[in-house]
Amino acid sequence: MHPCRPGLYVVPNLPKDQTNGPFLLSGGEYTEPINLIPAKRPRRQDWDGELYENGSFYIGTRDLILKENSTQGRKVAYFEMEPEHSVDIDVDIDWPVAEERVLRFGYFGRGVSLMFCRVSRCLTDGRVFLSASGEDIVSIQTKDTTGLRMLQNDGVEVVLLISNEDPVTQSMAEKLKKVMGCEVMDVGDDPLRDVQLVVEKKRLDWKDVAYMGNDRADAACLNLAGLSGVPADAPRDAADAAKYTCHQAAGTGAVREFAEHVLLQKEKAKTQMKQDRIDRKNF
């Protein structure tokens, strides 16, 4: 069964007293509506047709509600929602399922256009190598830098975050700018303060932002971002705040994995907008 906008179901041979006339769909097929007469609307649990209403939203005119005592009627169409965006909450045990859907898929408008990524313990694995010459060395996985470039090629602005507590990444700032072609920004003990200024300056909502972190200090940003992720080895405080937990650990491909997740969600958002335009044109 698939969720849909309330008011229209694809069913054959309905009794005429339960219908309000046939509707022509965009593909040229006729379908019979049911559930337009409030007194005869079956419970969702009792309906075993192909589509069922999930009650996500209702659209009706003032006269329809006041004069006909109905939330549905007149010109009606249906919109089929993807299963991950429609969860029935009938009993307490349904809440964890709904929460997991939100954490896994996220919800945002036109898609992410800005991503913040911690360098230490996201782009790097947190280890520091001591060379014979006395220089401190860190390594960055090329698949992670490729993932960030994939985001940039798709129109997502990437901002790398470094901290005064990470002297090695501080010394790497200029090289990171040159290699990655993106901004490298210092953040303090509370990253939200610094990141919020950038979000406001670019006139974005948090739903348009992706954030990848790996520390308790990142929790507030992870909570606010439309899409947020942490590596597999993130501490619990950060993992609980993130909407996506990578299978890969920091410095071993986690950034690439999260970048692919962001691109997948962007593509789904684009597809949905395209479908919305088609539906409005045909309605």
pLDDT of 93:
86
Helices (H), the chain: 62-68, 94-105, 142-153, 167-180, 191-201, 219-224, 236-241, 254-282
* Confidence tier at 12 by pLDDT (50, 70, 90): very low
- Residue that wins the pLDDT comparison between 264 and 17: 264
Residue 134 above 80 pLDDT?
Answer: no
pLDDT band at 127 (very low <50, low <70, confident <90, very high): confident
Report all structural domains of the chain as residue ranges with CATH numbers, in order of start. Answer: 49-105 (no CATH), 114-269 (3.40.50.1000)
Question: Which amino acid, residue 108?
Answer: F
Q: What local confidence, expressed as pLDDT, does residue 281 receive?
A: 52
Higher pLDDT, 63 or 255: 255
CB 192 within 8 Å of CB 218: no
| Mean pLDDT (whole number) for 74-98 | 75
How much is the pLDDT for 8?
39
Q: Is the pLDDT of residue 219 over 90?
A: yes
What is the number of other CB atoms lying within 10 angstroms of the CB of residue 110? 12
Average the pLDDT over 165-185 and give the result: 83
Q: What is the mean pLDDT of residues 259-283?
A: 70
Per-residue pLDDT at 261: 94
Q: Which of 40-44, 193-197, 201-205 has the lowest mean pLDDT?
A: 40-44
According to DSSP, residue 18 is labeled: G
Per-position DSSP letters for 153-207, written without gaps between them: HTT-EEEEEEETT-HHHHHHHHHHHHHH-SEEEEE-S-HHHHHHHHHHHTT--GG
Instruction: Look at residue 241 in the predicted model and tell me its pLDDT.
Output: 95
Name the nearest CA neighbour of 58 among 39, 36, 40, 91: 36
Give mean pLDDT, residues 83-107: 73
Q: What is the pTM of this model?
A: 0.62
Angle at 179 between CA 238 and CA 255, to 5 degrees: 25
Alpha helices in 213-253 (DSSP H): 219-224, 236-241
pLDDT band at 27 (very low <50, low <70, confident <90, very high): low
Catalytic residues: 41
| pLDDT of residue 36 exceeding 90 | no
Average pLDDT over residues 62-75: 75
